[in-house]
Amino acid sequence: MRLITQLKLGMAAIILCTISQAQSILIVGDSISAGFGINAEEGWVALLEEKLQAENHQYQVINASISGDTTTNGLSRLPALLEKHQPNITIIELGGNDGLRATPPTKIAENLSKMIELTQSANSTPLLIGIQLPPNYGDAYLARFLALYPTLGEQHQIAVLPSIVEKVGGNPDLMQNDGIHPNQKGQPLMLEAVWEKLEPLLTPSNS
């Protein structure tokens, strides 16, 4: 009887361990999260994986980011990604390519809003991440674009990082030659900004 009890306890511990390790973070983004122009291991997403492990947070990171992706593309891809990975947290880092194409801010907001709703319907906690744009689209467009992210955060009551490049944008030492993508030196600063918003959403570690 004692052996059976021990076996049951052992199996229960394995199941609990498996459950704790099954937590995941899905990232649906564009080139900023795909690591355009740098080695993959230097990108902020890879640095996030390292930080989670170092702080004993049992999360698998699934990076479904694609360079050049728009909110329309992200919206079309999201249902299958949610169904496949069943993430606990979904980071939505999109909109920059829409902005570079001068897509109407109302359309960007509509797509992002649908992505947030799909994420919540899948019992996943969304984190919305925005970005800054070059100043060549006019002050009016830029103001409407930048207002998208905090507005959506208020509407859906979710965590928002208005600009992932706030600490690196405009600094040539931290940016690639295109002036749009951060270089390897800028990646830790982006992670720092993301972590500030992401950490409160994580299940506390047991350490």
Top pLDDT among 37 and 204 is at 37
Nearest partner of 33 among 68, 58, 59, judged by Cα: 68
Residue 15 clears pLDDT 80, i.e. is over it: no
Is residue 166 included in any domain, yes or no?
A: yes
Question: Catalytic site residue 31?
Answer: yes
Question: Catalytic site residue 178?
Answer: yes
Q: Which of 139, 173, 178, 207 is catalytic?
A: 178
**What's the CA gap between 130 and 145, in Å, rounded?**
9
Residue 75 clears pLDDT 70, i.e. is over it: yes
- What integer best gives the mean pLDDT of the chain? 90
**What's the CA gap between 189 and 186, in Å, rounded?**
5
Is residue 10 included in any domain, yes or no?
A: no
Question: Catalytic site residue 76?
Answer: no
Mean pLDDT of 67-78: 98
Is residue 49 included in any domain, yes or no?
A: yes
pLDDT at 5: 44
Task: Supply the range of the domain harboring residue 83.
Answer: 23-201
Whether the CB-CB separation of 99 and 137 falls below 8 Å is answered with yes
Is residue 8 included in any domain, yes or no?
A: no
Which residues on adjacent β-strands are paired with residue 160? Answer: 128
pLDDT at 18: 43
pLDDT at 13: 45
pLDDT at 3: 45
Top pLDDT among 163 and 169 is at 163
Q: Which of 31, 33, 65, 124 is catalytic?
A: 31
Top pLDDT among 44 and 11 is at 44
**What's the CA gap between 5 and 172, in Å, rounded?**
63
Is residue 9 included in any domain, yes or no?
A: no
Is residue 18 included in any domain, yes or no?
A: no
pLDDT digits (tens, 9 = 90+) for 86-140: 999 999 999 999 999 999 999 999 999 999 999 999 999 999 999 999 888 899 9
Percentage of the chain beyond pLDDT 70 is 88
Is residue 179 included in any domain, yes or no?
A: yes
Q: How many domains does the chain have?
A: 1
CATH number at residue 133: 3.40.50.1110
Q: Which of 98, 113, 124, 181 is catalytic?
A: 181
Is residue 107 included in any domain, yes or no?
A: yes
Tell me the CA end-to-end span of the chain in Å, nearest whole number. 33
